[in-house]
Amino acid sequence: MDASQERRYRTSAFKSRAERERECELLTRGEIAIEGMVPWSSNYTYLVTLKLDEQLEYGIYKPQCGERPLWDFETGSLCKREVAAYELSAFLNYPNVPVTILRDDAPQGLGMIQQFIDHKRRENFFSLRDKCPEEMQKIAVFDALINNTDRKGGHVLADEQGVIWAIDHGVTFHQDPKLRTVIWDYVDDPIPAPLLQALESLRAELKANGPIRATLERLLTRAELRALTSRLNELLRQKVYPSPPPDWPHIPWPPV
């Protein structure tokens, strides 16, 4: 990759902790108005505006009541998994997941509210994989950790500033192995040391009953939290990107 290309892709989404907190405040306290439904979403996904004092921003709202029933995930649990995925990404500092919170006073009741990412419509994992492999590696480790069962190419976004974002984490954290993703580029490659270090900190925090454990306990079942801990231990033991699980359709359809 040449230097100009490298400059086009920034790694960090938030310039400061304060910026992240401001975003969180807007999502948590802002007045929500539904603008319309996002077409081709598998669950009800709304584009909303959020207004707080002088701030006005777009957001994404996925109400719990709009979750399509699935055979393997408890109906109504997807919005909580989205929040758990965001919280983990914020703890690890990778990958960039738009700020996501739960609100029970939204227009259609309880649901997740997420920062809207104004992104380049033509870009997705397939167009980005060679331009910013380091960001894709972060997403691949994260997906193995959260047991993401739907990493489609279109769930990787690039914004105008060249920040890469990962979205759509509703079907994650199942207690059985279900990793299904388009990112199998790094199978058996060593996981970069800084990414492992963040996983080590997560393990220490979970062991020490730090705030991240309490956050995850509110959002996931005990069995799911135990399974998360075993995947974490396994990643730290193997130190390489995992292989596709046997006897499991490991590539999502459609892939984009």
Ligand X SMILES: Nc1ncnc2c1ncn2[C@@H]1O[C@H](COP(=O)(O)OP(=O)(O)O)[C@@H](O)[C@H]1O
- Chain residues that interact with ligand X, rule: CB under 6 A: 38, 41-43, 45, 60, 98, 114, 116-117, 119, 154, 167-168, 170
List the single partner that 85 binds among ligand X, Mg ion, none, CB under 5 to 8 Å by kind: none
Is the bond into 190 cis (omega within 30 degrees of 0)? no
List the single partner that 96 binds among ligand X, Mg ion, none, CB under 5 to 8 Å by kind: none
Nearest approach in angstroms of CB 152 to ligand X is 8
Q: Closer CB to ligand X, residue 134 or residue 159?
A: 159
Instruction: Tell me: does residue 82 bind Mg ion (CB under 5 A).
Output: no
- Cα-based distances in Å from 135 to 110, 119, 195: 32, 16, 11
Q: If residue 29 lies in a helix (H) or strand (E), which one and from where to where? A: helix 17-29
Q: The tokens 């109504």 sit on which residue?
A: 76
Q: What φ, ψ does residue 234 adopt, rounded to 5°?
A: -65, -40
Nearest approach in angstroms of CB 65 to ligand X is 14
Distance CA 51, CA 29 (A): 8
Spell out the residues 6+ positions from residue 185 whose beta carbon is closer than 8 angstroms to its own. Answer: 129, 133, 136, 140
Q: Closer CB to ligand X, residue 115 or residue 202?
A: 115
Size of the site for Mg ion (CB under 5 A): 1
List the single partner that 98 binds among Mg ion, ligand X, none, CB under 5 to 8 Å by kind: ligand X
Nearest approach in angstroms of CB 129 to ligand X is 18
Burial class (CB in 10 A: 0-12, 13-18, 19+), 106: buried
Query: On the CB side of 240, how many CA atoms lie within 13 Å of its CA?
Result: 10
List the single partner that 92 binds among Mg ion, ligand X, none, CB under 5 to 8 Å by kind: none
Q: Which of residues 149-168 bind Mg ion (CB under 5 A)?
A: 168
Axis crossing angle, helix 211-219 with helix 193-207, rounded to the nearest 10:
80
Nearest approach in angstroms of CB 42 to Mg ion is 6
Nearest approach in angstroms of CB 74 to ligand X is 15
List the single partner that 224 binds among Mg ion, ligand X, none, CB under 5 to 8 Å by kind: none
- What residues line the site for Mg ion (CB under 5 A)? 168
